[in-house]
Amino acid sequence: MPKPTWNYAPFWQEAVTRMQQELPEQEYAIWFSRIQYTDSEEQKLILSVPSQFILDYVAEKYLHPLQSLLTELTGEPIVISFTVKTPAKNAKPPQEPPQSTSNKEKATQSKTTPEAVQKPVRKGQQDTNLNPLYQFSSFVIGTNSDFAYNAAMAIAKNPGVSYNPCLIYGGVGLGKTHLIQSIGNYIQTHTPILKTVYVTAEEFTNEFIQSIPNNKITQFKNKYRKVDVLLIDDIHFLQGKESTQEELFHTFNSLYETNKQMVFTCDRPISELKELTARLRSRFERGLNVDLQPPDYETRMAILKKKCEEQHCFMSDEVLDYISKSVNTNVRDLEASLTRLIAYSDLLKKEITLDIAKEQLKYSFALNKEQSLSIDVIIRVVATHYGISPYELKGKKKTKSVVQPRQIAMYIARDVTDFSTTEIGYEFGGRDHTTVMHAVQRVEGLIKTDKALTTTIEKLEREIISSRKG
């Protein structure tokens, strides 16, 4: 007896047409252009998709609706099975030139999505504005960053599904740009069909402002409202920029409604941003907010080792230990110190000894003699003592409960480090050196009469110095 052949292809076509009528255009174009009918078996429809990521997403979202639709259409209890079928050509997306990527996209586009064919979803990697050097693989995870790293990775694997929007906040040089761009680069590599755009808040603002007199506002709106993944770095820049905030608010709503992924970074928690409209603030506070803290000693060591490895240079553990103990502000300073030593070693063809490292880093901006103390530590210790956040301490709030601890922290910074008032002002949220001078004079005046305050300051200074040694 001949084996019966099953062919559910026509039912599949019908199901696709119905889904198209039901789903938002963009959603349909993105996901259904990736699903291809492959085969039929008894009461079973086999569909293929180009990657595991798409399979996971499509299966979670559409498996049940599609099964019931097909069951209804065929009158049989249909089961759908998805398989991953990587396009044979250009199967390895990471290093693909843009040209071959669009070939691949054409190869997997189904006939049913003319709009996706007409408009290649991604023209080329240059469109994203991403720097390919920022990758998850080069990010060293420590207790200061593991939560942010994991959230970023989860987003990169499932954009628009969980943690949307996500805000990564933390001080300068702690890896915000590295993480947000890693998300973009990961998505570009693993799900290039998604249109990803990375932009700094400053670029976003400039682009918006320039679009107004040039009658390009529609173009601007289209650009940002038609992405699948929008990554905006340094949103603190938007403070006081009302019309840009207004525009971003609408962009946000439009993307949010269609489950597009948004990630932002900021140098402080949203609650501490000033001159931000309440409605945009509430948007940023939605979703997940994660912070990056300065790395501890072990993480600093791990980061230095990784950077040495990447640059194929050798530094003894003794030297790395010295750098890690001396530079405790942030990763950028850590990198700069290492770069300086590598340059020295390259130029003079000398191996870096501990003495050379000490000599070379003596003048480095982040170091102060043997007793190098980071202002961050001072800020943290003083803030904790007064029950406020380090951000508040560095921030602009002028209430008495914040002003006095801030002045005390500035006084301590002047007392126990060799930082100039200009440098201290910079570390305290970009203040002028005269503010620091004023703070120092004020606290000097206070401790003349206030015994309790003197004791407190001494205690804080001891704590700061011992935390530095530890």
Rule CB under 6 A: choose which of 9, 91, 172, 217 binds ligand ADP.
172
In the complex, least distance from residue 310 CB atom to ligand ADP, rounded to whole angstroms: 9
Draw the binding track, 277-316, toward Mg ion (x: CB under 5 A; -: no contact): ----------------------------------------
Strands of 196-200's sheet in order across: 196-200, 229-233, 261-266, 166-170, 288-292
Q: Cα–Cα distances in Å, from 117 out to 99, 122, 183, 188, 388?
A: 15, 11, 26, 19, 55
68 vs 51: CA distance, rounded Å: 24
Reported in sequence order, the residue ranges of 252-398 that DSSP labels E, i.e. its strands, are 261-266, 288-292
Which partner from the list Mg ion, ligand ADP, none does 172 bind, CB cut-off 5 to 8 Å by kind? ligand ADP
Shorter beta-carbon distance to ligand ADP: residue 306 or 442: 306
Question: Per CB under 5 A, which region of 171-179, 211-219, 378-386, 440-448 contacts Mg ion?
Answer: 171-179
Query: Which one-letter DSSP state was computed for residue 99?
Result: H
Binding status of residue 221 toward ligand ADP by CB under 6 A? no
Q: Which residues contact 337 (CB under 8 A, 6 or more apart)?
A: 323, 326, 327, 361, 364, 366, 367
Draw the binding track, 172-201, toward Mg ion (x: CB under 5 A; -: no contact): ----xx------------------------
| 210 CB burial (10 A radius; 0-12, 13-18, 19+) | exposed
Rule CB under 6 A: choose which of 58, 130, 323, 331 binds ligand ADP.
331
Shorter beta-carbon distance to ligand ADP: residue 172 or 343: 172
How many helices and strands (H and E) does the chain possess?
Answer: 21, 8
- Nearest residue relative to ligand ADP (C-beta): 175
Shorter beta-carbon distance to ligand ADP: residue 332 or 442: 332
| 463 CB burial (10 A radius; 0-12, 13-18, 19+) | middle
Rule CB under 6 A: choose which of 69, 80, 140, 377 binds ligand ADP.
140
Which partner from the list Mg ion, ligand ADP, none does 140 bind, CB cut-off 5 to 8 Å by kind? ligand ADP
In the complex, least distance from residue 93 CB atom to ligand ADP, rounded to whole angstroms: 23
282 vs 165: CA distance, rounded Å: 11
Question: Per CB under 6 A, which region of 77-85, 137-145, 194-202, 450-458 contacts ligand ADP?
Answer: 137-145
106 vs 171: CA distance, rounded Å: 43
Binding status of residue 176 toward ligand ADP by CB under 6 A? yes
The length of the chain in residues reads: 470
Phi, psi at 263, each rounded to 5°: -130, 135
Q: What is the DSSP string of 188-232?
A: HHH-TTS-EEEEEHHHHHHHHHHHTTTT-HHHHHHHHHT-SEEEE
- Whether 405 and 392 have beta carbons less than 8 Å apart is answered as no
Rule CB under 6 A: choose which of 139, 163, 169, 220 binds ligand ADP.
139
Shorter beta-carbon distance to ligand ADP: residue 86 or 135: 135
Shorter beta-carbon distance to ligand ADP: residue 161 or 308: 308
Rule CB under 6 A: choose which of 174, 280, 361, 460 binds ligand ADP.
174
451 vs 446: CA distance, rounded Å: 9
Binding status of residue 330 toward Mg ion by CB under 5 A? no
Four-residue CA torsion sign, 145, 147, 150, 151:
negative
In which element (H, E) is residue 47 found?
strand 44-49
Strands of 79-84's sheet in order across: 36-41, 44-49, 79-84
Draw the binding track, 289-308, toward ligand ADP (x: CB under 6 A; -: no contact): --------------x-----
Which partner from the list Mg ion, ligand ADP, none does 405 bind, CB cut-off 5 to 8 Å by kind? none
In the complex, least distance from residue 153 CB atom to ligand ADP, rounded to whole angstroms: 13
Rule CB under 6 A: choose which of 85, 226, 332, 340 binds ligand ADP.
332
Shorter beta-carbon distance to ligand ADP: residue 70 or 148: 148
- How many C-beta atoms lie closer than 10 Å to residue 285's C-beta? 13
Shorter beta-carbon distance to Mg ion: residue 232 or 367: 232
Rule CB under 6 A: choose which of 50, 160, 165, 173 binds ligand ADP.
173
Rule CB under 6 A: choose which of 34, 104, 178, 268 binds ligand ADP.
178
Give the number of residues in contact with ligand ADP, rule: CB under 6 A.
16
Which partner from the list Mg ion, ligand ADP, none does 164 bind, CB cut-off 5 to 8 Å by kind? none
Question: Per CB under 6 A, which region of 96-104, 174-182, 378-386, 445-453 contacts ligand ADP?
Answer: 174-182
In the complex, least distance from residue 265 CB atom to Mg ion, rounded to whole angstroms: 7
Coil/strand/helix, residue 278: helix
The candidate with the shortest Cα–Cα distance to 202, out of 265, 156, 249, 275, is 265
Q: Which residues contact 189 (CB under 8 A, 6 or more apart)?
A: 93, 94
**Helix 375-385 vs helix 400-416: crossing angle, to nearest 10:** 140
Binding stretches for Mg ion (CB under 5 A)? 176-177
Binding stretches for ligand ADP (CB under 6 A)? 138-140, 145, 170, 172-178, 303, 331-332, 335
